[in-house]
Amino acid sequence: MRCPSFRFVRPVLVPLFLVGGMGAAIAADVAPLPPAPIVEAPVAMPPVWSFRFVPYGWLTSLKGTQTVRGRSTKVDASFIDIVEKSDTLVGLMGTFEARNGPFALYGDLVWSKVGIEGSNVWTRTPAPGITGTVGRTLAVDVQMAIVEVGAAYEVARSGPLAFDVLGGARYWYQEADVSLEVTGTLDIGGLELAGTRAFARSGSVDWLDPVIGARVRYAVAPGHELFLRGDIGGFGVGSDFSWQAVGGYGFDFGA
């Protein structure tokens, strides 16, 4: 009769318990992960106002017909003529802009006073012993003021390039003083006859134009900017039609 064989399970159970104990020990040694840090979103700062004042100058010239109280006088004087012959040449010009983000308010002032004087002398001898001389002295003083106010808005930007649209009003004022002195001399055989006649007129005119336009700004470097601006106005409200095109370069002192 054969005796049954038995297998001991102890050698098998011991490793299982050891493995289970090791697993528990490993689990106990692992520390819990720290909580993820709370990242606070940056608080958007409200835009602030910045201000800019830019003085500039015009090389003034005059060309056209100046009519004062029914008397018309043709004027054609370049900037060089005005500098050489003018007894009065003063001006005050500048632009101011306040910007808050894409929105801006601006103002522009041009004021100038120019005085021009010229003279001509004609001599004729219509017959032997008879000589006539006519002299004319013309003086024109022109005072002009242009005041513009408006608002601009930046509608597009790509890196250093920005595009603005603008609208506002432009006020014009002109005052002219015209004086003409004519002197005539007639010499007949040594007998001299002379006479002088003087005319003086003054008057002023002003009007207000609505203005719309656009401006392109390019930041070459911090504090250095190129700009190109164009606008049209009038539309029969003040003048029939007016236009302006300006290009320039600006920089901040100390930039």
- pLDDT tens digits for range 53-64: 888 887 778 787
Tell me whether residue 42 is in a domain.
no
- pLDDT over 60 (residue 200): yes
Tell me whether residue 207 is in a domain.
yes
- pLDDT over 80 (residue 117): no
Supply angle C-alpha 91, 96, 98, rounded to 5: 175
pLDDT at residue 18 in the model: 41
Q: What whole-number distance in Å separates Cα of residue 239 and Cα of residue 232?
A: 11
Token representation of residue 90:
């003063």
Give bridge partners of residue 219 from the DSSP assignment: 225
- Count: domains in the chain: 1
- The band of 17, judged by pLDDT with boundaries at 50, 70 and 90, is very low
pLDDT at residue 126 in the model: 72
- pLDDT over 90 (residue 74): no
What pTM does this model have? 0.67
* Structural domain for 149, as ranges: 47-251
pLDDT at residue 100 in the model: 95
Ranges 19-23, 70-74, 203-207, 247-251, most confident: 203-207
Tell me whether residue 38 is in a domain.
no
Tell me whether residue 9 is in a domain.
no
Tell me whether residue 117 is in a domain.
yes
